[in-house]
Amino acid sequence: MRKIRAILPGMPPTVSGLSAPVSAAQAAPLAGGSYWWTSGDPGPARVPARGHVEADVAIIGGGFTGLWAAVQLLQTDPSLRVVVLEADRVGWGASGRNGGFCEASLTHGLANGLLHFSEELDLLEAEGRRNLAELVAFVAADGIDAELEATGQLIVAAAPHEVDGLREWTEVAERFGGGVRFLDRDAVQAEVPSPRWLAGAISSPEHCVMVNPAKLAWGLATSAEKRGARVFEGSRVTGLRRRAGGVDVVVDGGAVDGGAVVRADQVLVATSAYSGWLRRLVPTFVPIYDYVLMTEPLTASQRASIGWAGRYGMSDSGNQFHYFRLSADNRILWGGYDAIYHPGSQVVPAHDQRAETFAVLERHFAEAFPQLDGVGFSHRWGGAIDTTTRFTVTFGDVLGGRVHYALGYTGLGVGASRWAAGILRDKVLRPDSELLRLRFVRSTPVPIPPEPLRTPAVELMRHAVMGADAAGGQRSLFLRAMDALGVGFDS
């Protein structure tokens, strides 16, 4: 999720490639305990890739990035042989566990966009709005039941210095097409009463819609298949081998070991925070765990006690922030605040649950919504976010330009992943695309050092960012130096 004031520093690291791959056996059907996985039917598991498979394009990862890439490749060239290889089930990763805030911003918010890409921001904002409008239209046209609600977003201030941040956001947004309105204390209390909120800023549905993310991922897999893609589940890629005229993608050890080899002309890597399997990507991102609670469905009187008639996606605006929203069956999803790095950049199912963070989130929920005293939590889960030092997706090519990747959304990838998938499609089918020339697409973020430096670097940044919240938003000398270097920490 993106913050308003957000130009925070951060510092992701990378590790020595230790991210453990996910296995179908470890994964259990609930994707870390995600409520979304219990809210519908993912359908029967698809068969794994076995033996020798031929493809024009092999896509590794069945989350939003990989699935949108499959759809867009086939929209552009329906004759392509497209194969998607997913280690577990489609939507098992961040795509089936997130808050469902589907934002237009490609740059992790305007403030971050201004910091890193000011000269391209007009175009990037327009692209982001175009992308969101097309996403909404596609979901409707393809009949995907993603519980999409065109609500916009309400961001609230819970500390005096955050009120200034919201005013600033409203003003800056005016320069980029508007659609954001400042709310004073009385106005925000009239929307969603809470002893915590001091002010708010509300954006239009052009900026943000809400989705059930697992249902969106499952629907996209069906959309890709309808257009001719072959989607394999339980198919973990363990290596890539360059060969004349293409790349061999090794699945589960390869064909002779009971797995598969996919002979592809080109390969797209869409494995997000799980990308430690490809060493080249390790310095690019740091996996940061983000955690979420889901309440039981609210009763009619509980629902009435919180207003929220507009059903906006909501967040507060500290450096450590919460995001919260209503589900279709009127539960409240409440997530964020802690951003946890596990030494060695570990990404393993054991980290999907974290009792300490859940306790903090429950306490903060009670402070925000005292009128909901007694409401229980039915689901608690977490997931890994692919954080980069500049908080935006980054692209690159490896193995002689036949393997292309996109990752690094830093917690704001539900909408941006569709746009990034379009860039991957352009790399394969439209090398003359103007978009490929954007600095946003060509440049790369400051890399993150390997362990043993990574853990202390992340912790230093994390504590500095927490310190800024405690100091009324004042950024320390260290944070300002990191800002100047374009290095940040966020989730």
Ligand X SMILES: Cc1cc2nc3c(=O)[nH]c(=O)nc-3n(C[C@H](O)[C@H](O)[C@H](O)COP(=O)(O)OP(=O)(O)OC[C@H]3O[C@@H](n4cnc5c(N)ncnc54)[C@H](O)[C@@H]3O)c2cc1C
Residues that bind ligand X (CB under 6 A): 1, 21-22, 60-66, 85-88, 92-95, 97-101, 103, 236-237, 270-272, 274, 277, 290, 292, 335, 383-385, 409, 411-415, 417
Shorter beta-carbon distance to ligand X: residue 39 or 305? 39
> Which lies closer to ligand X via its Cβ, residue 281 or residue 298?
281
The residue nearest ligand X at its CB is 413
The one-letter code for the residue type at 203 is: S
Rounded to the nearest whole angstrom, what is the least distance from the CB of residue 299 to ligand X in the complex? 26
Rounded Cα gap, residues 388 and 287, in angstroms: 9
Determine how β-strand 82-85 pairs with β-strand 51-60: parallel
- Count of all residues that appear for the chain in the document: 491
Nearer to ligand X, 194 or 275 (CB): 275
- Amino acid at position 432, single letter: D
Minimum CB distance to ligand X smaller for 208 or for 464: 208
- Nearest approach in angstroms of CB 332 to ligand X is 14
Distance CA 319, CA 37 (A): 29
CA dist., res. 266 & res. 81, Å (int)? 11
For the bound state, the minimum distance from the C-beta of residue 236 to ligand X, rounded and expressed in Å, comes to 4
Q: Which of 65, 99, 136, 159 is nearest to 409 (CA)?
A: 65
414 or 468: CB nearest ligand X: 414
122, 18, 2: which is closest to 390 by C-alpha? Answer: 2
Residue whose CB is less far from ligand X, 67 or 80: 67
Cβ nearer to ligand X, comparing 20 with 438? 20
Q: What are phi and psi of 245, to 5 degrees?
A: 75, 10
Smallest distance from ligand X to CB 22, Å: 5
Residue 374, CA distances (Å) to 198, 316, 335, 371 in order: 25, 23, 18, 9
Q: Of 86 and 426, which CB lies nearer to ligand X in the complex structure?
A: 86
Distances (CA, A) of 485 to 116, 134, 337, 343, 446: 10, 35, 25, 24, 8
Beta carbon of residue 279, minimum distance to ligand X (angstroms, whole number): 12
* Tokens standing for residue 146: 């993603």
| Closer by beta carbon to ligand X, 86 or else 490 | 86
The residue whose two tokens read 């951060």 is 10
CB of 326 to ligand X, least distance (A): 13
Q: Where are the alpha helices (DSSP H) in 237-372?
A: 300-305, 355-368
- Sign of the dihedral through C-alpha 6, 491, 465, 452: negative
Q: How far apart are CA 108 and CA 411, in angstroms?
A: 8
- The residue among 382, 377, 380 whose CA lies nearest residue 295 is 377
Question: Within a 10 A sphere around the Cβ of 126, how many other Cβ atoms?
Answer: 13
Tell me if 194 sits within 8 A of 19, measured CB to CB: no
Shortest CA distance to 76 belongs to which of 230, 227, 278, 285?
Answer: 227
The CB-of-475 to ligand X minimum distance in angstroms stands at 25
* Rg, Å, the chain Cα set: 21
- What angle do the packed helices 477-485 and 454-470 form, to 10 degrees? 120
Question: Whose Cβ is closer to ligand X: residue 163's or residue 282's?
Answer: 282
What is the rounded distance in angstroms from the CA atom of residue 72 to the CA atom of residue 270? 14
C-beta of 132: minimal distance to ligand X in Å? Answer: 11
| Local structure of 459: helix, strand or coil | helix
Q: How far is the CB of 92 from ligand X (least distance, A)?
A: 4
Which of 226, 159, 156 is CA-nearest to residue 190?
156
Work out how close the CB of 93 gets to ligand X at its nearest, in angstroms, rounded to a whole number: 3
Strand partners, 340: 289
Is the separation of the CB atoms in 118 and 277 below 8 Å? no
Task: Considering the complex, state which of residue 11 and residue 84 has its C-beta at the smaller distance from ligand X.
Answer: 84
Least Å from the CB of residue 62 to ligand X? 5
In the complex, minimum distance from the CB of residue 272 to ligand X, in angstroms, rounded to a whole number? 3
Nearer to ligand X, 176 or 409 (CB): 409
